[in-house]
Homo-oligomer: A and B are copies of this chain.
């Protein structure tokens, strides 16, 4: 679980550099969990981890459907009013991935098999996971095996698998295709190697149920076609799922088929008299449908529709459609890092994760792990709005709208939650699947009121980039107004002691940095709340001017009183923004600078991440950050701060930041590049880029860090491309790394698609679609029309500072034992022998 150094992020003898795929050329049991995640396939609705077809040993045999969850009563060890009561957790839906091969009745077991050849490839253009093996069976037969697995982007509910075997001599061959309810049934072997970690305690892991989750509601097999239909209902949430499975064997060899069906296990067994050189190919098509309460039988008939259509299309056509979806995706979304093969591959892997997480989410939102793992219980967080949606907004805006509509559908729940917290308006939950707050730890959960502003920010960015007034007027405005109301009620006006004007304060909140909780005037929160208050007032004013009818409807729908927007603007204008003139920096909150400084340089790697080695009270007591939220605020609200402020704040916070949050590297890297620490910016970019590929946080096993994957695009486009849009304009101030030949990316703005080619000496802008666009390059307006490239010369790539900022002392302050407080590290945990004798080392 410790920190991994980044010197060699991927073992290239096992994962060679390739531009359009991730390829593994030798199997390993040592990092099963990570590779299950890295090679997972999904479409944002349905996801399958990369468990080998043969099943058996695994970190987690996972198949997930976005939004399909079980609920449970949250039992607080010590309860209090308003604590979240209903837990939610993603369910592991029945596993259809299993296809077992027996030759001469000997099973193929990857862990022990003699495999002269092995490779599996996740192809970012075909959208398939393909595996090619040569297996020397115990009896000496050579079996050539090719298997493929695809979750369809064109058919939301469909997954297609194939398993093809060719033997080098005649032999009896059996293919057993299984469907297993692993959520409740007996599961297979789980890995217990170092990759599995200690499952007994990690607060980031998921809930475990001790009673049955999926109640069987339907289990039939069509006697004619052999089609399997299974249906279940979740015990508590009453959500329903059905799946249907078609299994078809293609071979010229003779074979027989037997089917079996039990509650949690269905099997179709093809027994083949395989002839040497004759392919034996199993095609398995699977459909999943889910609902909040539609009877499983009805869902099963929807599955049948899906499978019937898939049968009509056929395998080849489905694979073509898949490739076509991806071609279009890459046309809109690809980022080319010229001359950097390894980085290029990693960039595309990350962007591919975003389409796998978002493409067909369609109203279910985008969970922290997409559909690739059970980490964070399948919950939705603010990460989606801040780290993932910028990419979607600027490349596939309809996916962004879909994710934002997910928040709209949760608005009533957010209104109820605001009332529970004694506030007006709406308060979005810190973590949720169904809209109800599921965070059981308020200090680092419910107290993160900033989530309201994060939603408003992403919504505003989407509206600016698309001009989607329809969404604004009918739904978006409700989000903006209700979140603004929450802020205006949460904060209050107070005179400071110094005779200045009254300021608007927001107390008792936690910012994105979870190593400091429940503080007054968290800078990130206040800056974002100010943005939120203004965005709501501006949007209302805009609707009033352009669409009086929509405005009237909104006023009535929201019971808007005429003076509300003016009050929001007054609060926003009076917003207290912490500033310390002696240090020349923006304190993270009003008390932050009064704390001791944690000496990170002296904290050994064995004590990282801090959250797993120190009581929260210890961490909260120090100046030490999980992520630097002041720096994040200065990225998001770039135009609220001067360059000098950004540099001073970066200098101050960077040495205090553990980056124990996987979200940290993206914003920290973008701002490092902006203020001039360009090498540091690249270092942080690599940290984000390889967060899963190199398992930087030691928990890639639990699923893809989807927000970080989306953040890779932000790091490229905002960080190196120098894009800023916080004033509603598209502005570039590039920071191309010295060793890169160039960077090419696309932006879709108001329907036009702009290609940006960044080189060391120039920036070339080309309209790939649409008729015109207006941007700024280093403050100079550039008007684009037609398809001819516009070349803007660049005088360098911004300021360049050497190295990285280091911790500074607070002059003269010292502990009672005489030591300077900057070196105040808590004693090592577990050092009982020394401590128990009472030696006071301060």
Query: CB within 8 Å of B: which residues of A?
Result: 74-84, 87, 201, 203, 412, 415-416, 418-425, 439-443, 445-447, 481-482, 485, 488-489, 491-495, 497, 502, 504-505, 507-508, 517-518, 520, 558-561, 564, 567-568, 570-571, 574, 582, 590-591, 594-596, 611-618, 620-621, 810-817, 821, 824, 826-827, 829-832, 835-842
A519: nearest chain-B partner, CB-CB: B591
List of B residues within 8 angstroms of A520 by Cβ: 591, 594-595
- A832→B497 CA distance, assembly (Å): 37
A816 and B419 within 8 A (CB) = no
List of B residues within 8 angstroms of A559 by Cβ: 837-839
Q: Which of B446, B482, B570, B613 contacts A816 (CB 8 A)?
A: B570
The minimal Cβ–Cβ distance linking A814 to chain B, given in whole angstroms, is 5
The minimal Cβ–Cβ distance linking A368 to chain B, given in whole angstroms, is 15
- A337→B492 CA distance, assembly (Å): 49
Chain A's interface: helix, strand, loop or mixed, by majority?
loop
Can you spell out 14 A-B residue pairs with CB atoms less than 8 angstroms apart?
A: A76-B76, A77-B440, A416-B832, A424-B841, A425-B840, A443-B443, A446-B615, A447-B617, A488-B816, A491-B816, A492-B816, A493-B813, A520-B594, A571-B816
A493 and B814 within 8 A (CB) = yes
B442 and A615 within 8 A (CB) = yes
User: Closest 7 CB pairs between A and B?
Assistant: A82-B615, A77-B440, A422-B826, A508-B621, A78-B441, A78-B440, A571-B816
- A83→B203 CA distance, assembly (Å): 11
A495 and B812 within 8 A (CB) = yes
A419 and B832 within 8 A (CB) = yes
- A482→B419 CA distance, assembly (Å): 46
- A824→B839 CA distance, assembly (Å): 49
List of B residues within 8 angstroms of A582 by Cβ: 497
Copies in the complex: 2
- A494→B621 CA distance, assembly (Å): 14
List of B residues within 8 angstroms of A620 by Cβ: 508, 518
List of B residues within 8 angstroms of A75 by Cβ: 75, 77
- A797→B826 CA distance, assembly (Å): 51
Given contacts A485-B838, A594-B494, contact A816 B79 (CB under 8 A): no
B621 and A507 within 8 A (CB) = yes
A447: nearest chain-B partner, CB-CB: B617
Q: Which of B418, B445, B561, B815 contacts A493 (CB 8 A)?
A: B815
List of B residues within 8 angstroms of A594 by Cβ: 494, 505, 507, 520, 590
List of B residues within 8 angstroms of A814 by Cβ: 493, 502
List of B residues within 8 angstroms of A442 by Cβ: 615-617
Q: Which of B77, B564, B836 contacts A87 (CB 8 A)?
A: B77
Given contacts A590-B594, A617-B442, contact A81 B832 (CB under 8 A): no
A820: nearest chain-B partner, CB-CB: B493
List of B residues within 8 angstroms of A837 by Cβ: 558-559
Further 10 A-B residue pairs, CB within 8 A, beyond A75-B75, A518-B620: A80-B611, A81-B614, A82-B618, A419-B830, A424-B835, A485-B840, A488-B840, A492-B596, A520-B594, A559-B837
List of B residues within 8 angstroms of A74 by Cβ: 77
A838 and B481 within 8 A (CB) = yes
- A433→B485 CA distance, assembly (Å): 47
A422 and B842 within 8 A (CB) = no
List of B residues within 8 angstroms of A574 by Cβ: 816
- A418→B836 CA distance, assembly (Å): 9
Tell me which of A482, A488, A489, A520 has the highest count of chain B C-beta atoms within 10 A of its own C-beta. Answer: A489
- A617→B491 CA distance, assembly (Å): 13
A610: nearest chain-B partner, CB-CB: B81
A78 and B439 within 8 A (CB) = yes
- A809→B425 CA distance, assembly (Å): 27
The minimal Cβ–Cβ distance linking A505 to chain B, given in whole angstroms, is 7
B419 and A829 within 8 A (CB) = yes
Tell me which of A447, A518, A560, A832 has the highest count of chain B C-beta atoms within 10 A of its own C-beta. Answer: A518
The minimal Cβ–Cβ distance linking A411 to chain B, given in whole angstroms, is 10
A615 and B518 within 8 A (CB) = no
- A561→B838 CA distance, assembly (Å): 10
B422 and A618 within 8 A (CB) = yes
List of B residues within 8 angstroms of A839 by Cβ: 424, 559, 561
List of B residues within 8 angstroms of A517 by Cβ: 518
A824 and B612 within 8 A (CB) = no
- A420→B835 CA distance, assembly (Å): 10
Given contacts A826-B422, A835-B419, contact A816 B504 (CB under 8 A): yes
Tell me which of A425, A559, A570, A817 has the highest count of chain B C-beta atoms within 10 A of its own C-beta. Answer: A817
